[in-house]
């Protein structure tokens, strides 16, 4: 994995701190010895191409000189740990408000509420972590109609690119819920997204009652028309 893939796709995707930006600028002036960093923010190991001169690589970071691969790795890890801790604190505060909100309030459709803006911020900071928690909330709320409908309303207000293809598995699971209103909200998001992955799931589904299955078939037809699919 080269430097661009590692530092831009891994660090910048999941962090946005000024410290990482400053560190990136200093690292990117050097080239091509892989440095292994075990990132606490992502599941996979992250490879960063740093300097070809491991011993002579010097720069000041927070007032200290980094003179070895070891110190560079520790510096990056410490930034990750700080960011992870800050993010988890922010997320835990949000989780308390979110769980209370979906249980007792109503999520508006096509209107950006405060709770939605907070969720968007967290998704931009760390998509994988946040989407995983969304999936867990769906599972935990599966037998709680009001909470589950509110989650589906909230997700339906968001852009598909903000959530990613993994979120379609959440909606696939919800389609088997016995509550017809829940299935309706699970289908409604496809009107906005017209996502290929969700289309494949719906094309292999069969829902009850008949009117909700007719809605599913209508979404399939709309998708085919938009994408010029003949069959």
Question: Do 15 and 68 contact (CB within 8 A), yes or no?
Answer: no
Residues 111 and 56 reside in one and the same domain: no
Helices (H), the chain: 3, 12-14, 18-27, 69-104, 114-125, 127-140, 145-157, 160-163, 167-174, 180-193, 196-203, 210-226
Write out the residue range of the structural domain in which residue 182 sits.
105-226
Q: Are residues 149 and 218 in the same domain?
A: yes
Sign of CA dihedral 171, 175, 178, 184: positive
Contact indicator for 41, 132 with CB cutoff of 8 Å: no
Half-sphere exposure of 70 (CA within 13 A, CB side): 0
What is the length of the chain? Answer: 231
Per-residue pLDDT of the chain (231 residues; tens, 9 = 90+): 443 444 444 444 444 455 555 555 554 544 343 333 333 343 333 333 333 333 334 444 444 444 455 566 777 777 767 777 788 888 888 988 988 898 888 888 877 889 999 999 999 988 988 998 899 999 999 999 999 999 999 999 999 999 988 898 899 899 999 999 999 999 999 999 999 999 999 999 999 999 999 999 999 999 999 998 876
pLDDT at 51: 38
- Of 80, 95, 113, which closes a domain? 80
Quick one: 124 and 212 in the same domain? yes
117 and 182 co-located in one domain? yes
Residue 94 lies in a domain: no
Provide the domain count of the chain.
2
For the whole model, what pTM was predicted? 0.65
Asked whether residue 181 is assigned to any structural domain, the reply reads yes
Cα gap 50→3, rounded to integer Å? 7
């Amino acid at each position: 994995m080269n430097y661009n893939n590692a530092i831009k796709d891994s660090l910048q995707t999941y962090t946005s701190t000024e410290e990482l930006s400053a560190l990136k600028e200093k690292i990117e002036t050097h080239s091509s010895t892989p440095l292994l960093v075990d990132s606490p923010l992502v599941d996979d190991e992250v490879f960063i191409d740093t300097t070809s001169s491991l011993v002579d690589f010097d720069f000041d970071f927070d007032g200290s000189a980094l003179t070895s691969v070891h110190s560079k790795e520790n510096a990056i890890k410490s930034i990750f740990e700080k960011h992870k801790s800050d993010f988890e604190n922010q997320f835990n505060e949000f989780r308390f408000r979110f769980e209370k909100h979906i249980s007792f309030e109503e999520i508006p459709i096509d209107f950006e509420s405060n709770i939605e803006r907070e969720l968007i911020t967290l998704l931009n900071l760390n998509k994988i972590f946040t989407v995983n928690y969304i999936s867990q909330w769906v599972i935990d709320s599966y037998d709680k109609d009001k909470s589950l409908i509110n989650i589906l309303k909230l997700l339906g207000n968001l852009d598909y690119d903000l959530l990613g293809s993994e979120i379609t598995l959440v909606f696939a699971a919800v389609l088997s819920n016995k509550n017809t209103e829940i299935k309706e909200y699970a289908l409604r998001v496809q009107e906005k997204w017209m996502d290929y992955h969700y289309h494949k799931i719906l094309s292999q589904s069969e829902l009850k009652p008949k009117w909700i299955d007719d809605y599913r078939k209508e979404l399939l037809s709309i998708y085919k028309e938009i994408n010029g699919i003949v069959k």
